[in-house]
Amino acid sequence: MLFKKAVSTLMLSALCASLAAQADVKVGVITSSTGPIALVGIPQKNSIALMPTQAGGETIRYISLDDASDPTATVKAFKKLLDEENVDAIIGPSGSPNAMGVIQFAAESGTPMLAPVGTAAVVLPMNEQKKWVFKTTQNDELIAQALTEHMVENGVKTLGLVGTADPYGENWGKVMSELAAQNGIRIVANERFQRQDTSMTGQSLKIIAQRPDAVLVAAPGSSAVMPQTTLFDQGYKGQVYQTHGAALPAFLQLGGRKVEGTILAASLMLVIDEVPDDHPSKAVARQYIDAYTQLNGREPATFGANVYDAGLLLEQAIPSALEKGKPGTAEFRAALRDALEQTHELAATQGVYSMSPEDHSGFDERGRELITVKGGKWVLLK
């Protein structure tokens, strides 16, 4: 009798433990912490330890996988999280091509995907698949508008473009072509390159031959460096602009004096000490930077903050979703998607998020600052 009672007690305890485990909100995180875009993925992976672990009275459990910067590995990791881990949401992957390749799986499974990638193509144009995707970086057009306004104010009439031959560079080419035409700027050169290329001499010479007033480099992470340093080596003297894809410490370290004077529009994190204290995101960004630095011994790139912000978005959305379903169910995932879409005025490290059915990035002008490189440091452009 005592034996049966003991067994019953153990079974009840196991059942309770199992139910408790099922109640956890499970979030998959896919980063490229190794491979060609590791400079982007490493700070993202390192940020997981700083993300919220509780929301709506439930524990948030993160399951981290590395896709080694390989789109094929991204698909495998994504399917593993969906099929084996039954996650409620996925943050990642790090790369734009990688993200474009898994949108269909997020939609088919009805799982919200928070993409910390550069290209706006993951959420635009909005459709039945992309409605499951939310983007934690500024859309290209928001950044491009700030750069174009600066070009107009400084008399730029001709522009050379050079970008990666992937969704990031392609979407930037599209956005800048439209804005340039609207603002009387003529694009005289438009070159592409692969992230793994080891030489940019051919593309640079073609651009220089057209004598543009300025050049815009549209490339993410470390791939943003070589086009600009090659232009410098070939004697180009015009203004060079970069996108928010270049907003990482390694850009300054690898580029050195050859990237001095670069102008880009990016998150306030790069120049946080120069941003007014009343900026709604300053305190959040400062807290994240300090916590990351204490944990890792160095300040984070803004790419890490894109993953951290995804955690803040989920933290706010989870309580509402719990009213509609339990973690691990289709009802909960659908409610989580709906709640993310209703995010309003959430101050995070990159700016203020206000989502809508049409806008799954949600940034306004508070999500960008015009920045230049001066003395090997990021400086607010005044």
Amino acid at 174: K
Q: What are 184-233's pLDDT values in tens digits?
A: 999 999 999 998 899 999 999 999 999 999 999 999 988 999 999 999 99
Phi, psi of 115 (to 5 degrees): -100, 115
Q: What is the mean pLDDT of residues 304-320?
A: 98
CATH class of 140-266: alpha beta
pLDDT band at 296 (very low <50, low <70, confident <90, very high): very high
Q: For the chain, where do the domains classified as CATH 3.40.50.2300 start and end?
A: 25-138+281-364, 140-266
The whole-number pLDDT of residue 3 equals 45
d(CA 303, CA 75): 21
Q: What are 136-177's pLDDT values in tens digits?
A: 999 999 999 999 999 999 999 999 999 999 999 999 999 999
Q: What is the average pLDDT value for the chain, to the nearest integer?
A: 94
The whole-number pLDDT of residue 118 equals 85
Pair 217, 227: CB distance under 8 Å: yes
Pair 77, 102: CB distance under 8 Å: no
Assign domain 25-138+281-364 one CATH number from 3.30.70.100, 3.40.50.2300, 3.90.110.10, 3.20.20.140: 3.40.50.2300
Q: Residue 365: which of 350, 380, 377 has the closest Cα?
A: 350
Amino acid at 349: T
Please determine, for residue 5, whether its predicted confidence score (pLDDT) is greater than 60.
no
The whole-number pLDDT of residue 221 equals 87
pLDDT band at 11 (very low <50, low <70, confident <90, very high): low
Please determine, for residue 8, whether its predicted confidence score (pLDDT) is greater than 60.
no
